[in-house]
Structure 1
Amino acid sequence: MTGRVLKDNFSRRYYDNGIWKGPTINPPLGHYKYGEVLLKSMKKNTELIGQTQASTGKEDSFGEILDRTIRCALWLKKQNIKPGDVIGICTQHHLNHITPIVASLFIGSIINPWWDDMEEEQIKYFIELTDPKVVFISEKNVSFIQNTIKKTGINIKIIVFGSVDGLESFDDILKAQSAEEVKKFQCTTVESANKPAIIIYTSGTTGKSKGVLHSYHSIANNCEFIPIDLMKGSRGMCNSQIAWISGIVNPLRAIEYGANIIITSDMSEADSFRLIEKYKASCIDWVIMGTGTADRMSKTCFINSLDYSTVKFVCVGGAVVKKNVTEFIENIFPNGKIQQSYGATELCGIVTQTEVNQHINSCGRVLANAEIKIMSAGDGKKILGPNEEGELYVKSSCVMLCYYKNPNATMKVLDSENWFHSGDLGYYNESGEFFIIDRITELIRSQSDYIAPGPIEEIIHRHPNVVGVAVIAKSNENNIEQPMAFVVKSSGATVTEEEIINFVKENIQEKFHLKGGVKFIDKLPLTQSGKISKITLREIAKRIAHEF
């Protein structure tokens, strides 16, 4: 066990000179040897089901997962992969995707998950940044990535999930390991808590993605998205890609506590929504979803006809959750505790969590081993009090080691006292609930005022003929920024620009009005992490401005 405790996380927090502090919980000696923790858990739960492929119904026991993971770890060691070496993985979810990730923890190396829909320049950037010794790649992506690797001139071993002529398959490397070797396997000892464990990329919403380096301590000791008591022996859904921190942490916790994860990557999102009802008889206990998924779910017409009454816990995160979306999620999961949190890739997960009877747009109160303060935005010189808006600074035992090979970027967000400067605008109330308004870089600078796009987006999202919206800054002829909305209509809807502009006017004060206009588009551009790419939208807005 890693010694994490959640029950008292809220009751033992306190406020000290403008800083909200969670309780300090010291982990037991050797807690960071997380590969050993997972190995022990799988040996204990060999007969329990650990994974289910939703489309086929195929089940995988922890004993089967363990056997494949040890075989993968043995192969990696035979390739002379050592602690500190980087292992890349680029694939969607399937019954084998977790295997190299856990195998990397078994041998003390660094796992580096990629998005599975990248362009050539981004692949080159990842390869040149991390210099992986081996990359595990899905069959659908391997030819493209192989050709890109050749252009870099870097010698990298490629293993394919599936079968491709001329390449070694994942199945082949497993079969090459003997039963006797599997039986005798022991994890490589991780020498200290701060040894690097994973490089995971930032979303890239404001520029090039940075590689966030986390330690074995952070992976082993971050706060759970799902309460431990509920996770044990449960069944759940987590659609987060492996390139998201939630897509790493939650499957590892499922292994640690003997939970069965339903894998849905080869299904459409609409079919995955129906899946919860399909498993009603045998019960899906918990669901983890991104805010984008929650938004789309709230605009999906058949959802209200489905029965989600067996779900006990729902975690929504990734960005600010709109009030109407939260209300929708609460209605369709009538017996589920709906949890919102605040976290970041750099924090290895979450540092706040909501409780019962908190404000609907709150992201909760500070968790164990974390501290949060609000500093004046821009200069960071003044610590602010309740209901004063500023930048969230976070201190956490699970904060990143650094941005990988990027000391300048690291110095900009981690100060000398190890406070992480989040770049998020927010505030807290008198009872210590935190509220996120927007990214500071997304604020619209209109003359002497700052306008957050979030409140405008929330209003437009309520419109019955709108399924997607993003608000950005558009400069007028006097170089003054004004709010402009990019809107995705519902299928067959005839809503007009004027109607959207008036809808906003009727529901919010004048400074938030859409003086930059409305542009209808078929779909919003997304980053690989699934967040709206406002950089792309700002470029579109510039082109529109030049046309007039």
Structure 2
Amino acid sequence: MFRSQYADVPPIELPIHEAVLGRAAAFGDAPALIDGTDGTTLSYEQLDRFHRRVAAGLAEAGVRQGDVLALHSPNTVAFPTAFYAATRAGAAVTPVHPLATAEEFAKQLADSSARWIVTVSPLLPVARRAAELAGGVREIFVCDSAPGHRSLIDMLGSTAPEPSVALDPVTDVAALPYSSGTTGLPKGVMLTHRQMATNLAQLTTSVVPSGPGDRILAVLPFFHIYGLTALMNAPLRLGATVVVLPRFDLETFLAAIQNHHITGLYVAPPIVLALAKHPRVADYDLSSLQYVISAAAPLDARLAAACAQRLGLPPLGQAYGMTELSPGTHVVPLDAMREAPPGTVGRLIPSTEMRIVSLDDPGRDLGPGESGEILIRGPQVMKGYLGRPDATAAMIDPDGWLHTGDVGHVDDGGWLFVVDRVKELIKYKGFQVAPAELEALLLTHPGIADAAVVGVHDETGAEIPHAYVVPQPGATAPTEGEVMMYVAERVAPYKRVRGVTFVESVPRAASGKILRRELRDRKDQRGPQRDPEGPQHDQQDQNDQQDRQDQQDQNDRRDRP
């Protein structure tokens, strides 16, 4: 068993809004949130006052303790206000990907039993359709303004009393993000107030300290647990300033670093790639940066070194975790970035234990240098999957160890290296893509008899979803483009199939389980894969380019009268 070298931190038994904003009054007029595009600024005093008034407005509208509220929005300065207002009113927040289709959104609404939605006006058509499909939604609020919908802005003038809710931080759920765990379709991850608040203390105690004067750029989405914790809750808890961007656009991102004197970046590998290689980086003054930490997906050590060298920074740090862990368990501490070995995802954070167990004999623990499945135990381990006790039991054993499905080893210095996955999930740009979901969708195509989806690596080393398709005998076989378009029209952009191979049969075990490793090995033998959607553009990952274009196109369509 491996234990953290840091002293344990006591569990934080506070509602998440109190754990984060409990010292907001002390920070007063210091800027808490800045819109990185138009400069709109909220001070700590305003954030504290506004979220209390919106909580009163939500309670007046009928939101009660135990309700679930779906927060459906890109990053804005209003997102934290909505989140903390909902939890103060007693609701659990289920964050929704702003690019989710109405059908995907509806599934999350139905599974979580959400009765309320907070969205933004450009996303209203999707939210309305999702509410119609799911049923049970009592009202849709907007952060900005839209005819026929109550606005959070209007709630700032509410004279209703601030709700007084007797939350139990130990058992009451604060956030309900959706994750596929190690396999299968998305499941609601129940994260209690204590689990989330304690993970903040674990991450910021001697590991990734921050405070007044620090400026963090929030370009990764708040709806993802990484953004929610590292870019919203953690810096706001300590009095730092969060500069908010709604999406990643390289020039806007670089301009925000320069103009707002950003000191810390929490990013995913595609952004590291852009910082390391894109020629436009040289056009901006990024000298305010003090550190960069990458997480959500594996980061190639050579790419990390190239980025650090170009920016004139200490070696980039990495972090490790998963939604079911609130999410953090490992990080390279800021004061140890120069000593950390290349490629490590960090050391255990306080109050966290880890085992590396044999893949062949799961009851046998392994020592330093031996690779096996990573197991985690600590106060940040989720309460469980909503309504899925069997899935919870498969993930967390009777002794409280969460089986991550990741394969790794620890060196003699306690540094963890993640080397592979036993789980079937594909991590595309930090987002989880469940092969089972795409396979079920592919099988609805009349020209497809069987299908399997696996993660393969493109030219940059990033993992992309690739489909193996068996044409339906006697039917007109679809083309590669038609298969990709069929999927693209029915799922969020990050779930799109990026390549298709037609095969005579899908390899399966006697049990019927798809032999995904055989398919991955088959693809790897052919060398690096290119995303077939278009040419490279200024050395940027073309998948990022396509996703940004998809998002912009969707926003443009919604913004049209």
Short-chain TM bin: 0.7 to 0.9
Shift, 1:120, TM fit: 2.5
Please list, as runs of the form range in 1=range in 2, the aligned pairs for 1:416-455 lying within 5 A after superposition.
416-441=398-423
**Greater Cα offset, 388-397 or 166-175:** 166-175
1:35 is aligned, of 17, 28, 34, to 17
1:309 is aligned, of 287, 291, 298, to 287
Q: Report the equivalent of 1:254.
A: 235
Runs of 4+ deviating beyond 6 Å: 471-476, 523-527
Please list, as runs of the form range in 1=range in 2, the aligned pairs for 1:53-202 lying within 5 A after superposition.
53-175=35-157, 177-178=158-159, 185=162, 188-202=165-179
Shift, 1:370, TM fit: 0.6
Please list, as runs of the form range in 1=range in 2, the aligned pairs for 1:272-421 lying within 5 A after superposition.
272-279=253-260, 283-336=261-314, 338-354=316-332, 355=336, 356-377=338-359, 379-421=361-403
CA displacement 1:328-354 (0-9 Å, x = unmatched): 221133245632111111111221122
Q: Report the equivalent of 1:522.
A: 533
> Compared with structure 1, are the counterparts of its residues 443 and 135 closer, same or farther at alpha carbon in structure 2 (3 Å cutoff)?
closer
Is the aligned partner of 1:268 residue 2:267? no
> Compared with structure 1, are the counterparts of its residues 378 and 308 closer, same or farther at alpha carbon in structure 2 (3 Å cutoff)?
farther
Query: Residue type of the partner of 2:193?
Result: Y
Please list, as runs of the form range in 1=range in 2, the aligned pairs for 1:203-218 lying within 5 A after superposition.
207-218=184-195
**Greater Cα offset, 31-40 or 166-175:** 31-40
> Compared with structure 1, are the counterparts of its residues 216 and 514 closer, same or farther at alpha carbon in structure 2 (3 Å cutoff)?
closer
Q: Can you give the 5+ residue segments of structure 1 that lack an aligned partner in the other structure?
A: 1-17, 445-452, 463-467, 477-510, 531-548
Secondary structure at the aligned position of 2:377 is classed as: strand
2:214 is aligned, of 231, 234, 239, to 234
CA displacement 1:453-505 (0-9 Å, x = unmatched): 99x959x438xxxxx664969799xxxxxxxxxxxxxxxxxxxxxxxxxxxxx
Is the aligned partner of 1:25 residue 2:5? no
Q: Report the equivalent of 2:225.
A: 245
Q: Report the equivalent of 2:474.
A: none
Q: Can you give the 5+ residue segments of structure 2 that lack an aligned partner in the other structure?
A: 427-453, 471-520, 535-540, 548-561
Tell me if structure 2 keeps the 8 A contact 1:347–1:399: yes
Shift, 1:23, TM fit: 4.3
> Compared with structure 1, are the counterparts of its residues 162 and 36 closer, same or farther at alpha carbon in structure 2 (3 Å cutoff)?
closer
Distance in 1, matches of 2:41 and 2:380, equals 33
Residues matched between the structures, number: 453
> Compared with structure 1, are the counterparts of its residues 346 and 267 closer, same or farther at alpha carbon in structure 2 (3 Å cutoff)?
closer
> Compared with structure 1, are the counterparts of its residues 68 and 62 closer, same or farther at alpha carbon in structure 2 (3 Å cutoff)?
same
Q: Report the equivalent of 1:3.
A: none
Shift, 1:255, TM fit: 2.2
> Compared with structure 1, are the counterparts of its residues 425 and 37 closer, same or farther at alpha carbon in structure 2 (3 Å cutoff)?
closer
Give the share of equivalent positions with the same residue, in percent. Answer: 20
**Greater Cα offset, 235-244 or 264-273:** 264-273
Tell me if structure 1 keeps the 8 A contact 2:33–2:241: yes
Query: Residue type of the partner of 1:196?
Result: V
Distance in 1, matches of 2:221 and 2:25, equals 27
Shift, 1:163, TM fit: 2.6
Distance in 2, matches of 1:254 and 1:520, equals 36
Query: Residue type of the partner of 1:515?
Result: Q
Query: Residue type of the partner of 1:174?
Result: L
Shift, 1:432, TM fit: 1.6
Secondary structure at the aligned position of 1:308 is classed as: coil
Shift, 1:323, TM fit: 1.6
Distance in 2, matches of 1:526 and 1:121, equals 24
Tell me if structure 2 keeps the 8 A contact 1:391–1:422: yes
Tell me if structure 2 keeps the 8 A contact 1:32–1:221: no
Shift, 1:133, TM fit: 2.3
Query: Residue type of the partner of 1:293?
Result: I
Tell me if structure 1 keeps the 8 A contact 2:115–2:136: no
Query: Residue type of the partner of 1:19?
Result: F
Distance in 2, matches of 1:321 and 1:225, equals 22
Q: TM-score, normalised by structure 1?
A: 0.75
Tell me if structure 1 keeps the 8 A contact 2:23–2:237: yes
Shift, 1:123, TM fit: 1.2
> Compared with structure 1, are the counterparts of its residues 317 and 124 closer, same or farther at alpha carbon in structure 2 (3 Å cutoff)?
same
Shift, 1:419, TM fit: 0.4
> Compared with structure 1, are the counterparts of its residues 422 and 526 closer, same or farther at alpha carbon in structure 2 (3 Å cutoff)?
farther
Query: Residue type of the partner of 1:218?
Result: Q
> Compared with structure 1, are the counterparts of its residues 187 and 520 closer, same or farther at alpha carbon in structure 2 (3 Å cutoff)?
same
CA displacement 1:358-408 (0-9 Å, x = unmatched): 211011211111111111126523211222111101111110000111112
